[in-house]
Chains A and B, each alone.
Chain A
Amino acid sequence: MDFSISQDHQMLADSLRRYFSDKYPIEVRNKAAYSAPFHSPEVWTDLAELGVIGAFIDEDHGGFGGAAQDIAVVFEEVGRALCCEPLLGALMGARLLALSGQDQAAEDIVAGTARAAAAIFEPGVVCNLGAISAEARQLGGEWRLFGHKNAIYGGPGADLVLIAAHAGGKIGLFLAQSPDMQAAPMIDGGGIGDLVMDGLPAACICEDASAMIEETLDLARIALCAEANGAMDRLIAMTTEYLKQRQQFGRPLATFQALQHRLVDMVMELEQSKSITIRAVASFGSDDQARHVAMAKNLIGRAGTKISEEAIQLHGGIGMTWEYAGSHYAKRLVMIDHQLGDRHDHAGRLAAMG
Chain B
Amino acid sequence: MDLEYSAEEIAFRDEVRQFLAENLSLEIAAKVDAGGELEKQDMERWHAILNAKGWLAATWPVEYGGTGWSTVERHIFSEECALHNAPRLVPFGLSMLGPVLIKFGTEEQKREILPRILDGRDWWCQGFSEPGAGSDLASMTTRAVRDGDDYVVNGQKTWTTLGQYANKIFCLVRTGTGGKPQAGISFLNVDLDTPGVEMRPIKLIDGGHEVNEVFFTDARVPAANLVGEENAGWTIAKYLLTHERTNIAGIGFSLKDLERYRRMASAMTRDGRKLSEHPIHAAALAELEADLEALQISNLRMLANARDGAASPIDSSLLKLKGTQLRQDILALMRSARGPDAAFWDESPANTNSDLPPHADHVAPAYFNNRKLSIFGGSNEIQRNIVAQTLFR
Contact = CB atoms under 8 A, between A and B. Distances in A.
Contacts of B338: 338
Nearest to A314: B381
Given A184-B355, A185-B345, A312-B371, A248 B339 contact: no
Contacts of B278: 344, 348
A320 B272 contact: no
Contacts of A121: 340
A330 to B, nearest CB: 7
B357 interface: yes
Q: At the interface, is chain B mostly helix, strand, loop or mixed?
A: mixed
Nearest to A182: B357
B341 interface: yes
B205 interface: yes
Contacts of A123: 341, 359
22 contacts: A124-B268, A124-B269, A124-B271, A125-B271, A125-B272, A150-B340, A150-B341, A150-B357, A150-B359, A185-B345, A187-B206, A250-B139, A312-B375, A313-B374, A316-B135, A316-B379, A321-B204, A335-B343, A337-B336, A339-B340, A339-B343, A348-B280
A126 interface: yes
A151 interface: yes
B203 interface: yes
Given A184-B345, A248-B134, A320-B371, A128 B207 contact: no
Nearest to B379: A316
A85 interface: no
Interface of B: 129, 132, 134-136, 139, 158-159, 202-207, 211, 268-272, 278-281, 284, 328, 332, 335-336, 338-346, 355-357, 359-360, 364-365, 367-368, 371-372, 374-376, 379-381, 384
Most-contacted residue by chain A among B271, B335, B338 (CB, 10 A): B271
A342 B339 contact: yes
B368 A331 contact: yes
Interface in A89-106: none
Interface of A: 34, 121, 123-128, 130-131, 150-151, 182, 184-188, 192, 194, 247-250, 258-259, 305, 309, 312-313, 316-317, 319-323, 327, 330-331, 334-335, 337-339, 342-345, 347-348
Given A124-B269, A128-B271, A309-B371, A187 B345 contact: yes
Nearest to A249: B136
B199 to A, nearest CB: 16
A192 B344 contact: yes
Nearest to B341: A150
B96 to A, nearest CB: 18
A305 B365 CA distance: 15
A184 B360 CA distance: 11
Which 6 A-B residue pairs are closest in the complex by CB-CB distance? A151-B340, A187-B345, A322-B203, A128-B271, A124-B269, A248-B136
Contacts of B332: 305
Contacts of B272: 125, 128, 130-131
Contact of A344 (B134, B268, B281): B281
Contacts of B136: 248-250
B38 to A, nearest CB: 20
A123 B356 CA distance: 14
Contact of A320 (B343, B372, B380): B372
A313 B375 contact: yes
Given A150-B340, A150-B341, A309-B328, 5 more contacts: A184-B356, A305-B332, A319-B375, A338-B335, A338-B336
A214 to B, nearest CB: 14
Contact of B365 (A131, A187, A317): A187
A130 B271 CA distance: 8
A320 B204 contact: yes
A121 B269 CA distance: 13
A322 B280 CA distance: 33
A124 B59 CA distance: 46
Contacts of B328: 309
A188 B368 CA distance: 11
Contact of A185 (B271, B346, B379): B346
Contacts of B203: 321-323
B359 A317 contact: no
B54 to A, nearest CB: 36
A128 B339 CA distance: 13
Contacts of B368: 187, 330-331, 334
Contacts of B371: 309, 312-313, 319-320
B271 A338 contact: no
Contacts of B384: 258
A126 B278 CA distance: 13
B284 to A, nearest CB: 8
Nearest to B132: A247
Nearest to A251: B136
A87 to B, nearest CB: 16
Contact of A322 (B134, B204, B268, B380): B204
A185 to B, nearest CB: 5
Nearest to A345: B271
Nearest to A343: B336
Given A258-B381, A317-B159, A322-B204, A338 B339 contact: yes
Contacts of B159: 317
Nearest to B207: A322
